[in-house]
Amino acid sequence: MDAIPLVHGTPVVVLLLIAVLGLAVGSFLNVVILRLPPRLAWQWQTSAGTPGTVADPPKPPPGLVRPGSRCPTCKQSIHWWENIPLLSYVLLRGRCSHCDAHISLRYPAVEALTALLSITVVWVLGLDWQLAAALILTWGLIVLSFVDLDHMLLPDVITLPLLWLGLLVNLAGGFCDIGSAVIGAVSGYLVLWIIFHVYRMISGREGFGYGDFKLLAALGAWLGWQMLPLVLLLASLCGAVIGITLIMLTPREARQPLPFGPYLAVAGWIVLLWGDALLATYLQFAAISF
């Protein structure tokens, strides 16, 4: 029998299955990104007891599972064959089959991104038990990034479960020891909390949101306190490059505040897969320099 083709030590068939899984998960992540923020806003509104909410509560927005997907323009239900990740977008040429309205490129982009990042996680980590946890973290970071870009919001319903999951994974000897994970969670929150208050005292403005504190705490729970400086460095570099580029390309009156969550998410994901190699390279370079 011929040997099973391998890519970086992983069977090709496994990578193909992960790609299909990533596309399917990406399709669901699109739903979460679109529906979770208005759902949370509705829950906050109805639970806050604002005038009129008790006697005449607002109509709840769609949930994450039901009802099924509809065209945002004509409100027609989308058939199953119109909802196949990537393929349906290509076959429909990016238009609704009912009203011919354009379908946002965001949908296939998120699906393709989820598949690509999922394949990368398998390629780097291999078929180990930590793989499932790393995939969950990857998918959670994708949702957080896009929600933060759209709404300047990092929902607790995602950041806090990721924090607890990181502690549980490392309790079982996942990506760092449990002591480093606990200290990482605490210090991740406190670092940005301190920067937030110092910056506000100096400038009178708020540079971060509390969701950023919780996201860095979650990354600290996954990666350990030792990796937090690298996460902050990469996130800051990424934010500086993109921020300067947007300042140069965008008129002053059109500029908008940039969320920090996506930069933290990208940096945390990179450190999850290549943090040890990056630190080793830096230490080697520093040793040569001195």
Does 149 lie in the same domain as 79? no
Mean pLDDT, the chain, whole residue set:
86
Instruction: Output the pTM of the full model.
Output: 0.89
Note down the domain range covering 228.
129-290
Does 282 lie in the same domain as 145? yes
Does 96 lie in the same domain as 75? yes
Among 86, 110, 127, residue at a domain's last position: 127
Give the pLDDT of residue 250: 66
- Return d(Cα 95, Cα 106) in angstroms, integer: 13
Does 137 lie in the same domain as 115? no
Does 201 lie in the same domain as 121? no
- Return d(Cα 271, Cα 228) in angstroms, integer: 9
Does 176 lie in the same domain as 68? no
Exposed / middle / buried, residue 270 (Cβ in 10 Å: 0-12, 13-18, 19+)? middle
65-120 pLDDT, tens digit each: 777 777 777 777 777 777 888 888 888 888 877 787 888 899 999 999 999 999 99
Instruction: For residue 228, give both structure tokens.
Output: 């937090």
How confident is the model over 44-55, as a mean pLDDT? 62
Collect all residues with Cβ–Cβ distance below 8 Å to 247 and sequence separation of at least 6.
Answer: 255
Instruction: Band the pLDDT of 2: cuts 50, 70, 90.
Output: very low
